Structure 1
Amino acid sequence: MKSIATKVLVVGGGPGGYVAAIRAGQLGLDVTLVESVRLGGTCLVRGCIPSKALIHAAGQFEAMTHAVGGNRFGISLSAPPSLDFGETIRWKDAIVARLSNGVGALLKRAKVKVVNGWATFSDAKTCEVATAEGKVAITAEHVVLANGSEPVELPFLPFGGPVLSSTEALSLSAPPKRLVVVGAGYIGVELGTAFRKLGSEVTLVEALDDILPAFDRELAAPVSKWLSRAGVTVLTGAKAKALVQKSGGHALAIETQDGEKTELPADAILVTVGRRPLTKGWGLEAMAVDLDGPFVKIDDQCRTSVKNVWAIGDLVGEPMLAHKASAQGEIVAEIIAGKRRTFDPAAIPAVCFTEPEIVSVGLNSAEAAAKGIAIIAGQFPFSASGRALSMDAGGDEGFVRVIARADNRRVLGVQAVGAHVSEMSGEFTHAIEMGAVIDDVAGTIHAHPTLSEAFGEAAMRAIGMAIHI
């Protein structure tokens, strides 16, 4: 058996693991990274990137569909567009391949050794990797666990056949004629929206009373209205019960809050009820690290309970977001190299790529009230934004809202819903991370005409100096 002794062993080549490995390599450490599938992890290979590619393609197809016979821009198509979904998937796969290969090149440049295979630990610093060429034994001084997460499978709806996880949904041969989505969180609504734009009949089934429960109701309202206008059936307070075999197809049995039972015919059933940390099947129990519920327990430096064993990303808890994992990976590498770092972000942005998009950073009004914090707040609608109106995005009831402490005027949170607001998440987060007061935002000159002006206008409104509303 081949053996490798390394200073740093990183398990998982996702956005947490590969960033940790690259940064450690840049700092001159001897690094080995183990990845079982493909460099890039869930986000790049089967999550964030491919889903956004599909969402973009779906938006292009929908725009062309709406131009049949003419539209308000004077653009006209004489016939409906055709969809070669196989080519769409090949385009999406090409993007994934390009980025994954790019990660490999960055790792090589940082002199990181990459071992492709499944790592199984026998103790905290020793693992055996099953590779295509045979088994490899690896021992390390430091171990960084970046194993990621996996979709939650419902016991009565196991993945397979017509029952899909988000992974399979992103590699279908054709959009299903009838798609039922179980779970109306951000993954379910994003993919449901994309497939509706591609022509599928979509039904969302959510056990809670509202869609997008992670976001406040005012942010989710414009998304709900788009779903209604687009003909998406939304069933809240409804629980999936079983897959039913029908003559010539399948159906999902559901039960509403009042006990009514019904069946929803479906060509595909997409289950998006959450993700869980990947803690099984690789020897975590042999490492003797402490757990915090289903997650690996860490401190503010991402240290586990075992010396020189670190954990990052989805494995350690919410928010289960790629950019959190990357930040933790960079910090861990620098701590191992002797630098003084802690993971203590002022805010981590959450983005939902629905129609329209949603961004939430820091505290919202209800969360501030629950903490007993008196606030001032300002909200500016995109219906008053020249840029939003000029791109036909002023009628979706979007807005930017900024919240600050009433006593020292420090910015506590920013929320936005509207076209392309994801691209403003960096400015929102930067303001909070740098400790900006609301006057700083109001006094910043934003380029005109841009959507970002709405951030400054919201701040001006909060301090009683509104100009354009």
Structure 2
Amino acid sequence: MDVIETNLVVIGSGPAGYAAAFRAQDLGVQTILIEKYSQLGGVCLNVGCIPSKALLSLAEKSHDAMSLSQSGMTFSEPTVDAVATLAMKNEVVAKLSGGLNMLASKRRVQTIQGVAAFTGSHELHVKGESGDQIIQFKHAIIATGSEPNRLPFLPEDDRIFDSTGALELRDVEGHLVIIGGGIIGCEMATIYQAMGAKVTVLEIAPTIMMGADPAQAKVCQQAMERKGIEFQLGVNIQGVEAEEDQIRIDLGEEEVICDQVLYSVGRKPNGLEINADAAGVGVDDRGFVPVDEYMRTNQEHIYAVGDVALTPFDNQMLAHRSTAHGHLAAEIIAGHNIRYDIRAIPSVAYTDPEVAWVGISMQEAKDKGCQIGKFPWMASGRSLATGQGIGETQVYADPETERILGASIVGRHAGEIIGVFCLAIEMGATLTDLALTVMPHPTLVETTSLACEQALGSITDL
């Protein structure tokens, strides 16, 4: 069995893992990157963020083409070639994954495919197709990510799948029921409806997209309903029965009969899969690895980043959060005197319209007595000129200092626009700072400064 010595070993090549490995190698730390799958990139690149956005882009374009009839331009109903669509999605993934391989090679980061498990506080065993290896390390970063939760009452059946299975586009016809109305569930509903499926979303909560502003989530829900997506909120699923030619979902007083079921009910961390006990690393019952503001576990030379890390400062399982974690851990291992100091992590639902938010929520803003600014996109020249009109930009600021503490946006490209508020929060910008920033006109991004003007009472566009 080969024995390899290294300064740093990173377990997992998702946004947290490859960011950590590449940054550490750039800083002169000899690094080995271990990935259990055949391609680098983790869930986000291979079966998550990237492939879903490729399909969501097609859904958006299809809807836009059909809606142009209101402006005098008519297209025939689209036909879907699922095989060609799948090939397009896979090509996008392959390009990005290949790019990661190139970047790893350019940096001289050694990559090993295999399943890693700790055998001691400074040792890993890697089981791969080409044989077993022992890696002895000075530092380690756990970046094993997360996987979809599976409801215990779901039977094993090819017609019942998670978001990874949904991206395979095995069957885009018939009636699809999505269990879970969070970001992933709503995005998948958008994709499958555009490809021709009848879609019903079942959600136990009274609103979709928990974490988003409820009023803005409602705007998105209503837009999705106009496209034909059905929502049943506040439902409690009693059981699911897979029959030969259909699937029955028991809701107590009624049942839903469908052809396929996609379950999207959150994710669970993969901290229990690496034999962390052998290294003395603490892992809780859920699979989270607790860390401090330096991303260190209870073992000072071992770090955890991304979805698997349980931090005292953020808790969203998001790719951009993971990348920030990876950079931080790498820089600390390289000897930099830094710690976690990020003020806000944005969230985005890439539906149509998109919903994006950062910082405190509307309810928190009300509780704190914040200054609140709202700008409706019905008053946005750019929004109306592009045939949209649906949308709103909100901003929340400290009542004494005017410092921006949060924001929420619903509308086309909200995920791009929210970056203005992310920067404002990090820089400690005030409502006046942003209101006096001259934005290009006509654009959607100018709604950020207009919302600040509305909060200050200086707006002339309303």
TM-score normalized by the length of structure 2: 0.96
Q: Deviations over 1:352-404 (max 9, x none)?
A: 1112101111012312344xx3311110011101111111111x2x1111111
* CA deviations over 1:15-39 (Å, ceiling 9, x no partner): 0000000000101111000001120
Q: Does 1:225 align with 2:222?
A: yes
1:214 pairs with one of 211, 217, 220: 211
Shift of 1:81: 2.1
User: How far did 1:268 drift?
Assistant: 1.1
Q: Secondary structure at the match of 1:415?
A: strand
Letter in 2 for 1:15: P
For residues 416-455 of structure 1, what are the structure 2 equivalents within 5 Å?
Answer: 416-455=409-448
Check whether the contact 1:145–1:309 (CA below 8 A) recurs between aligned residues: yes
The match for 1:413 among 406, 409, 413 is 406
Asked if residue 186 in structure 1 is aligned to residue 183 in structure 2, the reply is: yes
Shift of the 64–117 alpha-carbon distance from structure 1 to 2, 3 Å rule, reads same
> AA paired with 1:206?
E
Alignment of 1:150-169 (within 5 A): 150-158=147-155, 160-169=157-166
Give the stretch that moved more between structures: 92-101 or 358-367. 358-367
Say whether residues 1:61 and 2:62 are aligned partners.
yes
Q: 1:157 to 1:245 in 2, by over 3 A?
A: closer
Any conservation in 1 of the 2:295–2:305 contact (CA below 8 Å)? yes
Q: Distance in 1 between matches of 2:362 and 2:447?
A: 18
Unaligned residue ranges in structure 2 (runs of 5+):
none
Contact in 2 for aligned 1:145/1:310 (Cα 8 Å): yes
Cross-structure match for 1:288: 280
> 2:279 and 2:155 mapped to 1: Cα distance?
30
User: Which residue pairs with 1:51 in the alignment?
Assistant: 52
Corresponding position of 2:73: 75
Q: Structure 1 residues 167-176 or 154-163, which shifts more?
A: 154-163
Q: Pick from 267, 290, 295: which aligns with 1:302?
A: 295
Contact 2:207/2:218 (8 A) holds in 1: no
Quick check: 1:389 aligned with 2:384? yes
Q: Distance in 1 between matches of 2:387 and 2:157?
A: 41
Corresponding residue to 1:465 among 436, 458, 461: 458
- Out of 260, 272, 275, the residue aligned to residue 264 of structure 2 is 272
Aligned position for 2:26: 26
Gaps of 5+ in 1: none
Does the Cα contact within 8 Å between 2:208 and 2:218 map onto a contact in 1?
Answer: no
Aligned length: 456
Amino acid of the structure 2 residue aligned with 1:401? Q
Question: For residue 74 of structure 1, what is the amino acid of its counterpart?
Answer: G
Give RMSD over aligned pairs. Answer: 1.4
- Map Cα deviations across residues 71-106 of structure 1 (whole Å, 9 max, x no partner): 1222122x4222111101100000001001111111
For residues 29-70 of structure 1, the C-alpha deviation after alignment (integer angstroms, 9 at most, x for no partner) is 110000011201010000000111111112223334456xxx
Q: Quick one: distance in 2 between partners of 1:369 and 1:139?
A: 53
What does 1:139-158 align with in structure 2 at a 5 Å threshold?
A: 139-158=136-155
**Residue 365 of structure 2 corresponds to residue 368 of structure 1:** yes
Does the CA contact (< 8 Å) of 1:226 and 1:355 recur in 2? yes
Aligned residue in 2 for 1:348 = 345
Q: Deviations over 1:189-239 (max 9, x none)?
A: 111122112211111111112111221211211112112212222111112
Determine the structure 2 residue equivalent to 1:253.
250
Are the aligned partners of 1:278 and 1:315 in contact in 2 as well (CA < 8 Å)?
A: yes
Report the residue type matching 1:121 in the other structure.
F
CA distance in 2, matches of 1:170, 1:93: 10
Match of 1:130 among 127, 131, 136: 127
CA offsets, 1:300-334, max 9 Å, x none? 01000012000000001421100011011011111
Distance 1:136 1:365, change over 3 A: same
Q: Which amino acid aligns with 2:5?
A: A
2:21 partner letter: A
1:153–1:159 Cα contact (<8 Å) kept: no
CA distance in 2, matches of 1:277, 1:428: 29
Tell me which amino acid in the other structure corresponds to 2:292. Answer: D
Distance verdict in 2 for CA 1:138–1:150, change over 3 Å: same
Same amino acid, percent of matched pairs:
36
* Structure 1 pair 142–159 and aligned structure 2 pair: CA distance change class (3 A): farther
- Residues 240 and 249 of structure 2 are in contact (CA less than 8 Å); yes or no, is this contact kept in structure 1? yes
Indicate if the aligned counterparts of 2:176 and 2:260 stay in contact, CA closer than 8 A: yes
Partners of 1:376 and 1:66 in 2: CA distance: 37
Instruction: Encode CA deviations 1:431-454: one digit per residue, 9 max, x unaligned.
Output: 000000110000100011110110
- The residue identity in structure 1 corresponding to 2:72 is G
Match in the other structure for 1:329: 326
Change (3 A) 1:337 1:202: same
Contact conserved, 1:446 with 1:453, CA < 8 A, in 2? yes
Is the partner of 1:60 in helix, strand or coil? helix
